[in-house]
Chain A
Amino acid sequence: MKTISVEVWLYGPLARYGGKPHTSHYASVFPSLPEGSCVRDLLALLGMPTEERGITFINGVLSAMPGLQPDLDRPLHDGDRIAFFHLRSMWPAQYRHGAAMTPELAHAAQAQGLFHAPKPVSQDGSSDVA
């Protein structure tokens, strides 16, 4: 089976999913995945529940925010850089207006608003906010 290799950055307490259980600084790992894998598969490989992550980037493009995770089925490619931030991190709207985001996130944000308060997230990536 063909595999892909990706570059993963885990910030704050998420570093423990990169083999650094005693730090809340960061970890970077380079896992291999079967071709065709998506974000959900990467999370499974890392053993990281999706609820534990907040801001997420794929190649510098914002793909998820606390409470809004429409990127679980986004396919990954060889050489991709994926960054996961702990829910304690933040990126207020004032500093991301006009920044690159995935079409799925832009679409989800239009429907729901791109807020910053963590809300319960279900495994399909949606939040149950009215």
Chain B
Amino acid sequence: MWILRINMTDRSYRLEELPEAYKNLAGRSLTSTIIHDEVPPTCHPLGPNNKLVFSPGFVTGTAAPTSARISAGAKSPLTGTIKESNAGSEWPQALASMRIRALVVEGQPQEKGKFWMALLSWDKAAGKPAVTFAPADEYVGLTTQAAYNQLFGRFGNRVSIAGIGVAGERLYGNSGIVFQDIKRRATRYSGRGGLGAVMGSKGLKYIVINREGAPGVQLANAALFEEGRRKMTEALRTHSITKPKGSLNTYGTAVLINVMNEAGGLPTRNFSSGRFEGAPNISGEAIFEGNKQRLGKELYNHPCSPGCIIECSNTWHKPDGSEHASCVEYESSWALGADCGIGDLDDVAELVRLCNEYGLDTIETGTTLAVAMEAGLAPFGDGKKAIELVHEMGKGTPIGRILGSGTETAARVLGVRRSPTVKGQSMPAYEPRAVKGIGITYATSTMGADHTAGYTIAPEILSVGGKADPLSPEGKAELSRAFQATTAFIDSTGHCLFIVFVILDIPSGFQGMVDEVNGVLGTQYTADDVVKLGMEILRKERAFNEAAGFTRSHDRLPEFMKHEPLPPHNTVYDVPDAALDAVFGQM
């Protein structure tokens, strides 16, 4: 196993044997460890001392279902904290097939405004990966799909590509890193935290992988792995959320729009209400029904990456039946829809498409547009004006650059007090005044406001939450800590987080995940180890953030949520600061 280091100062590379200390690390556990060990916490995120680390998970590249995930990590230019942003694509499978546990991008070129691509292939004679570099200036300024089409034309349809759009080239705080989906659409994002800008700051436009001849992932215990794979597959295929034609395969993640709206927890018009009258028209049900009308048949969703058996990625079609955008996720439909007061699915789809084409995070872009609307740059609900503003970001006009900086910066520049951010990252689609548990995670996550930081399985499986009353501040803190630790582990396995929906209900699926990891690594982890291993990751991330200047006073929700009641429940966020401090008080 290797760590591959790409140095963009002189366009060189180095292969290192995976150190013994990193042997049982992958995915988030490895990206966060390398950043903790090698990146000066006070460095500028866009300077030469920051590092961009990619790591496939433990089981990525194997036959484990729904496991083509990549962790991308760095010090975030959006938050100033450590960052792990996760995406699904065949790109991490290609990386894993070369037995590369981590790809570390270092340094910075002297030349300003120039971009290169790194071409990674398998050197059959040497029996190891090799890297060459090529100029990428001809792709600068192109939309992502046009550029990817050219790259596939140049290198063949079998390569895998990671890259940035114009947002990353311009070092925007809301820029992501884009990977191809199963039909070579440039649409799968490590979206959060501005990692596209980190890649752009290193003059690196693309990492193209040709996996031909690569040996594939080695299994320490193939029989145990196979047993785990079978358990996991069985669980995913039978659960109502993940089975074929189940919740996610039918309605996609946008299935949650109507549910959260009825719960009064769908942030609307820049977090001024928890219910949006236009919600049913931008929901998963609306997408399914609208596609049926426009295509004349039912359309179920597709996998974002090879080997996914959940298949939750949707496409939205124009009235003439041609494809408009993929994928209209829950978070995207909410951020670019409800949070902006936009209830027209065609407008929302166009906004999603533009974010993909320019290389923008849909969540941060939507919440920034909502702040701009509150500032009067456009009326809430004006989809056409919102589209114009995203084009401003794409063109790089002064207002476009301000909006590209993310929600907190835009709110400061535009004089908007209601800035729905934690540690500089905007909140996703769950209102903490209505769903209080997620507010604890938003506040205390090492990543800024992040809805994927607190996934978990049933507390009884984890043997936590039994001592403290889960409704007491101590109980909530204990649960949140366990939630975040478990999530950190799952982000290291290489599985998509959506497996968690299933292993909450089907414990054999959880055991399957542990078996798979043990089968790859030759370890003997048990269910109890999951929280311990996750806590170790969180410890490193917290230590990095503390050294970067973050204190408990940053583990807070924005002030307005404490005194502005949220309709329709008219509740404020009343979880006491002491409860938030208790989450990591013992670390």
Residues in A lying within 8 Å of B, measured CB to CB: 9, 11-12, 23-26, 55, 57, 59-60, 62, 66, 81, 83, 85, 87-100, 113, 115-118
Q: Which residues of B contact A60 (CB under 8 A)?
A: 262-264, 274-275, 434, 568-569
A-B contact pairs, 22 of them (CB 8 A): A9-B262, A12-B285, A25-B280, A26-B258, A59-B568, A60-B568, A85-B258, A85-B262, A88-B247, A89-B258, A90-B256, A91-B256, A94-B438, A94-B455, A94-B456, A96-B437, A98-B437, A98-B439, A99-B263, A116-B504, A117-B506, A118-B240
Contact B240 A96 (CB under 8 A): no
Residues in B lying within 8 Å of A, measured CB to CB: 239-241, 246-248, 250-251, 255-256, 258-260, 262-265, 274-275, 280, 283, 285-286, 288-289, 292, 430, 434-440, 451, 454-456, 458, 460, 476, 479, 483, 500-501, 504-506, 568-569
Q: Give the docked Cα–Cα distance between A90 and B239 (Å).
A: 11
Q: Give the docked Cα–Cα distance between A94 and B289 (Å).
A: 27
Q: Which residues of A contact B456 (CB under 8 A)?
A: 93-94
Contact B437 A97 (CB under 8 A): yes
Q: Which residues of B contact A23 (CB under 8 A)?
A: 289
Contact B435 A99 (CB under 8 A): yes
Contact A11 B458 (CB under 8 A): no
Q: Which residues of A contact B439 (CB under 8 A)?
A: 98
Contact B263 A94 (CB under 8 A): no
Q: Which residues of B contact A117 (CB under 8 A)?
A: 239-240, 505-506
Q: Give the docked Cα–Cα distance between A81 and B275 (Å).
A: 13
Q: Give the docked Cα–Cα distance between A33 and B568 (Å).
A: 24
Q: Could you say which of A62, A89, A118 contacts B255, with CB atoms under 8 Å apart?
A: A89
Q: Which residues of A contact B274 (CB under 8 A)?
A: 60
Q: Which residues of A contact B289 (CB under 8 A)?
A: 23-25
Q: Tell me the interface secondary structure of chain B in the complex.
A: helix
Q: Which residues of B contact A100 (CB under 8 A)?
A: 263-264, 434, 569
Q: Which residues of B contact A118 (CB under 8 A)?
A: 240
Please give me the 6 A-B residue pairs with the lowest Cβ-Cβ distance, nearest first.
Answer: A97-B437, A98-B437, A98-B436, A60-B264, A25-B289, A83-B262
Contact A89 B501 (CB under 8 A): no
Q: Which residues of B contact A90 (CB under 8 A)?
A: 240-241, 247-248, 255-256, 259, 501
Q: Which residues of A contact B240 (CB under 8 A)?
A: 66, 87-88, 90, 116-118
Q: Which residues of B contact A113 (CB under 8 A)?
A: 458, 460
Contact A89 B251 (CB under 8 A): yes
Q: Give the docked Cα–Cα distance between A24 and B284 (Å).
A: 10
- Tell me the minimal C-beta distance from A93 to chain B in angstroms: 6
Q: Give the docked Cα–Cα distance between A71 and B413 (Å).
A: 49
| Residue in chain A with minimal CB distance to B460 | A113
- Tell me the minimal C-beta distance from B570 to chain A in angstroms: 10
Identify which of A26, A90, A118 gathers the most chain B CB atoms within 10 Å of its CB.
A90
Contact B435 A95 (CB under 8 A): yes
Q: Give the docked Cα–Cα distance between A88 and B568 (Å).
A: 26
Q: Which residues of B contact A57 (CB under 8 A)?
A: 262-263
Contact A25 B435 (CB under 8 A): no
Contact A94 B500 (CB under 8 A): yes
Contact B259 A88 (CB under 8 A): no
Q: What 19 additional pairs, Cβ within 8 angstroms, besides A60-B434, A88-B255, A95-B430?
A: A9-B280, A11-B283, A23-B289, A24-B292, A26-B283, A26-B286, A59-B568, A60-B263, A85-B258, A90-B259, A92-B504, A93-B504, A95-B435, A96-B437, A97-B435, A97-B436, A116-B505, A117-B239, A118-B240
- Tell me the minimal C-beta distance from B542 to chain A in angstroms: 21
Contact A26 B262 (CB under 8 A): no
Q: Which residues of A contact B260 (CB under 8 A)?
A: 95
Q: Which residues of B contact A81 (CB under 8 A)?
A: 262
Contact A11 B258 (CB under 8 A): yes
Q: Give the docked Cα–Cα distance between A99 and B260 (Å).
A: 10
- Tell me the minimal C-beta distance from A96 to chain B in angstroms: 6
| Residue in chain A with minimal CB distance to B288 | A24
